[in-house]
Structure 1
Amino acid sequence: MKVLLLKDPKTKDLASDPYVKELSSHGLQATLIPVLSFKFVSLDHFFDKLSHPESYAGLIFTSPRAVEAVKLCLQKPAHKEAWKDHLCAKWNSKPVYVVGKATASLVEEIGLSSEGEGSGNAEKLAECICSKGLSYSAPILFPCGSLKKEVLPKKLQEKNVPLETITVYQTGPHPAIQVSLSDYFTKEGVPASIVFFSPSGLKYCLLFLKDLPSDQLNQIKFAAIGPTTAEAMAEEGIPVSCTAQNPTPQDLAIGIKQIGMQ
């Protein structure tokens, strides 16, 4: 059973991506096509903020790229030294909230402890933060992408949790996406399932998918990595056959196998 994963890879070797490996271990023929490209921006300004943990009540990371922005800041020797010397410890005295295991793992690599990884999406993370019932004299710092949803900021605002956002990366379509999709369908034929991992990934693939003949399109069962992506798919008229219970390779594999038996 062929499964096409439309996502940004976790490693340069696409075959070693955890989603590809997990689906393959279940006997599924998984192929990954990168659909997004990222450009990091305002990193000096971002590090200025990271250099003043006393001005914030904590940190929020909702994507691996936001943590990668910190890693890029720390490539400068002076920044790295300051981080090791005192900044990391000061941030660790405050809550660091994350969505997902991949983001939590990267946060650990920069020396920070995190909470909320099991929340699965920004909305549930916001609920987790608000449920703590803390009062804030300073905002939580939220490095994010140019296409961030307003769900988390809105929910926090409703509960009077102050937030300061800074855009640290811009998201765009992968330059080879149309060619890669065309090559896949030419060589591999129509996959049994296609999985979307983000609303932006869906956006950049729609043009190709809507050009497919209806008899091919009707053969495909579409899956979403989470509820936000599922909602975006439904809005575009893409039928959602399954949504992973949690955004993990294991839960996606379970969902794909279930719809494969239908």
Structure 2
Amino acid sequence: MKVLLLKEPRESETEADPYIQELASCGHTASLIPVLSFRLVSLEELSERLLQPERFGGLIFTSPRAVEAVQTCLHSLTHKWDAVKDKWNEKSVYVVGKATASLDIPLETLTVYQTSEHPDLQNNVTDYFTRQGVPASVAFFSPSGVKFCLDLVKRLSGSQLEKIKFASIGPTTADALRSHGLPVSCCAEKPTAKHLAAAITHALHA
């Protein structure tokens, strides 16, 4: 069965997307359409902080985009970075998720990227429905994806909207779908390709 994934592709262009792979192993044909566009911001301020390691006890990355922002700054700092690199190497560097907010330590935050609707989203989704028809399932991966795509999916699906099994990568995205009046056919038990593929397969055969 056809499944439409409204998510971001893998960072690596050499590896197949795991969600497409898992769904294929379950007998489905999945297509991926990028929903969001990312723009790095505050790079000058980030560069200044990177040159002041004495101000901080460590560094916390909350997303791959944050890592990309630091890499961009390091390319421009060159020799200045060499002077402070060893000091940063003595500090702790963390990659974390939701637990960050519950840490009882003082945190200084800096937003280094902004998200917006992918510039080709409307055309790509319209082209998919024109060529492939209405999919058996549509999977959403973020509340932003719901915000940017749902009205278009509703319009293109027309009278067949009720036949689509809407899937969610997690509870927050599921709540976003419900807030727009759509039933959530399935929600991944864990935010992984394997769990989402299993949930979609179960929903399509229910």
Displacement of 1:222 in angstroms is 0.9
Query: 1:230 corresponds to which residue?
Result: 174
Pick the aligned partner of 1:167 from 88, 104, 111. Answer: 111
Pick the aligned partner of 2:145 from 201, 218, 226. Answer: 201
Pick the aligned partner of 1:243 from 157, 176, 187. Answer: 187
**1:24-74 C-alpha deviation (Å, 9 max, x unpaired):** 233220100011111101112113223434433444433221222122222
Q: In 2, are the aligned partners of 1:190 and 1:219 still within 8 Å (CA)?
A: no
CA distance in 1, matches of 2:45, 2:198: 42
SS of 2:191's partner is coil
- Alignment identity in percent? 50
CA distance in 2, matches of 1:199, 1:213: 20
CA distance in 2, matches of 1:226, 1:23: 17
Q: Which runs of 5+ in 1 are unaligned?
A: 100-121, 127-151
CA distance in 2, matches of 1:47, 1:208: 40
CA distance in 1, matches of 2:83, 2:144: 35
SS of 1:180's partner is helix
Q: Which runs of 5+ in 2 are unaligned?
A: none
Question: Normalising to structure 2: TM-score of the pair?
Answer: 0.86
CA distance in 2, matches of 1:253, 1:213: 22
Q: Which amino acid aligns with 1:16?
A: A
CA distance in 2, matches of 1:166, 1:233: 30
Displacement of 1:177 in angstroms is 0.7
Q: In 2, are the aligned partners of 1:2 and 1:192 still within 8 Å (CA)?
A: yes
CA distance in 1, matches of 2:110, 2:199: 35
Q: Which has the higher contact order (CA 8 A, sep 6+)?
A: 2
Calculate the aligned-residue CA RMSD, in Å. 2.5
CA distance in 2, matches of 1:167, 1:214: 39
CA distance in 2, matches of 1:55, 1:176: 42
CA distance in 2, matches of 1:202, 1:14: 28
Q: Does 1:185 align with 2:183?
A: no
